[in-house]
Structure 1
Amino acid sequence: MSSSTPAPASPQPVRVLLVEDDDLMRRSFAVALERYGYGVEVAADGLAGLELFRDETFDLLILDVMLPGLDGIGLCRRVRETSLVPVLMMSARGDGLDVVAGLEAGADDYVVKPVDTYVLVARIRSLLRRATYAPAPASVPSEENVLVFGDLSIDTGGLEVTVSGRPVALTPTELKLLLEFAAHPGIVLERHTLLRNVWDYGWDGDSRVVDLCVQRLRGKLGRDRIETVRGFGYKLRR
């Protein structure tokens, strides 16, 4: 009796939670993302989105800023209390306080509505690439993989960060930004360089995402760790 080799399991699709209160946009975004192979769950308000997030596991969240019940900024803050999952904000106002507030709340990136599907998918792919930098299970670090800057230690193999021996939890974007600085200690990195290397943006990227992510890093690592060089960019102190 011959035995057959079982077929390999099909890879699970990337799971996306889309929270958008506009019915037409919610349906159109969901259909478009499913055509690109994503598994999409939807919610029409912030509280429903929070409940879904708590009940299920997602690889990425897309949150509209203006939501009934609990707005996208408040939802992002609630998510960041327990999770480092990548968060993409959608705003109808690209130059207002919404963008800054969303990034300060812990979002990794944003898009402005109306947004073409290919642009949305490009930002999703960029976020998911950064998520591959998520910390690995704890391992014994080797000296060659550990970068030390004062009381800041970065294990580039296990992707673990400590300050004075205390573990620091970073989002994938924050971690990739820190690794970029650590690869060039003492060297000024311009905002457009960071936008290209960390966020996969060209010259049309919004430098506010850099400024706000640096601000979040300073809050976690220490205010004086990353120095602002006015008119140029930022550098990691040796």
Structure 2
Amino acid sequence: MHRLLVVDDDADIRTLLAEQLGRAGYQVSTAEDGVAMRKVLEREHVDLIVLDLNLPREDGLTLCRDLRARSTTPVIMLTARAEPIDRVLGLEMGADDYLAKPFEPRELLARVRNVLRRTEALPANLEPLSVRRARFSNWMLDVEHRHLVDPNGRVVMLSGAEFRLLRVFVGHANKVLTREQLVTLSSGRAHEPEGRAIDLAISRLRSKLGEEGGNGLIKTVRNEGYVLATTVALE
């Protein structure tokens, strides 16, 4: 049985979602803010977090970013605002899905099932690796502090999407990864074949690595995908 954690400062919403998800067969814990959320995560294994964006003190974006720095637990973000920028920021910080209030509890239930199914469908040999640092070709990815250090010792800032993508590459160095695998591993979301968002993300990452085209560390393998072609030392 999957255990879910609902984090929302509205007691009525917490109760409603806990009841609805409980009737669907899930074990549900609740928390009203980031402090309570961390206490639950310390004592329980949680398979998925339903996280409200507008929380007191620490908002959902901050909490999602902190979660992603140390965990791959899926997150569905809730917000009372339907602005596109909120959705973009939520996904950039590592949310696996996004739902605007008000919503039908059945829609949330469908999204919970979809995210859990995608997460559990990940091949065992492609599960994310738990590392603190990765060194490759005189570069260093600091996983703990979520930044990249270039060969001259300068810190290169990465967006949330760039960080997650590079972490996937260093964790599976010299292995050709398809676009679908890269999307699944870096975000947990299903691949969208009509879009080329992953190609754009790789282009931006190559730029951060000082590369142009596909002749640098991240190589394009025609009709297959991409590969980080270098030796990586994981710490």
The TM tier, using the shorter chain, reads: 0.5 to 0.7
Q: Which residue of 1 aligns with 2:173?
A: 163
Counterpart in the other structure of 1:55: 43
| Higher deviation after alignment, 84-93 or 50-59 | 50-59
Match of 2:76 in 1: 88
TM-superposed CA distance for 1:91, in Å, is 1.1
Alignment pair present for 1:218 and 2:202: yes
Distance 2:69 2:204 in 1: 14
> 2:67: which partner in 1?
79
Would you say the 8 A contact 1:16–1:39 is kept in 2? yes
1:123 is aligned to 111
The answer as to whether partners of 2:96 and 2:189 remain within 8 angstroms in 1 is: no
Structure 1 pair 120–82 and aligned structure 2 pair: CA distance change class (3 A):
same
Read off the aligned partner of 1:34 and give its amino acid letter: G
For the residue of structure 2 that corresponds to 1:119, the secondary structure is: helix
1-structure distance, mates of 2:183, 2:45: 16
For residue 99 of structure 1, the aligned residue among 68, 71, 87 is 87
After superposition, what is the alpha-carbon deviation per residue over 1:35-54, rounded to whole angstroms, capped at 9, x for unaligned? 00110000001221123223
Deviation at 1:162, TM superposition (A): 1.4
Partners of 1:162 and 1:28 in 2: how far apart? 42
Identical aligned pairs, as a percentage?
Answer: 36
The structure showing larger relative contact order (alpha-carbon pairs under 8 Å, at least 6 residues apart) is 2
Match of 2:3 among 7, 15, 28: 15
Equivalent-residue separation in structure 1 for 2:79 and 2:108 (angstroms): 12
Is 1:190 aligned to residue 194 of structure 2?
yes
Alignment partner, residue 199 of structure 1: none
Helix, strand or coil at the partner of 1:81: helix
Q: Which amino acid aligns with 1:81?
A: A
Task: Report if aligned partners of 1:63, 1:89 keep a CA contact under 8 Å in 2.
Answer: yes
Runs of 4 or more off by more than 4 Å in structure 1? 170-173, 175-178, 219-227, 235-238
Name the amino acid aligned to 2:5: L
Q: For 2:200 and 2:73, how far apart are their aligned partners in 1?
A: 16
Residue correspondences, number: 170
Query: Offset at 1:163?
Result: 2.8
2:34–2:58: 8 Å Cα contact kept in structure 1?
yes
Deviation sequence 1:140-186 (CA, Å, 0-9, x none) = xxxxxxxxxxxxxxxxxxxx961347xxxx785637669x58xxxxx
Secondary structure of the structure 2 residue equivalent to 1:118: helix
Q: Deviations over 1:9-52 (max 9, x none)?
A: xxxx2100110111111111111100001100000012211232
* Residue of structure 2 in register with 1:174 after alignment: 186
- Which residue of 2 is the match for residue 9 of structure 1? none
Which AA in structure 2 matches 1:68? P
Give the CA deviation at 1:95: 2.1
Question: Mind listing any 5+ residue stretches in structure 2 that lack a counterpart?
Answer: 127-169, 176-181, 208-212, 228-235
- Cα root mean square deviation, aligned: 3.9
| Match of residue 135 from structure 2 | none
SS at match of 2:70: coil
Task: Give the Cα–Cα distance (whole angstroms) in 1 for the partners of residues 44 and 10 of structure 2.
Answer: 23
**Cα distance in 2 for residues equivalent to 1:123 and 1:116:** 11
Q: Does 1:38 align with 2:26?
A: yes
Q: What is the CA deviation profile of residues 170-203 of structure 1, one whole-angstrom value per residue up to 9, with x for unaligned ones? A: 785637669x58xxxxxxx313xxxxxxxxxxxx
CA contact 2:183–2:189 (8 Å) conserved in 1: no
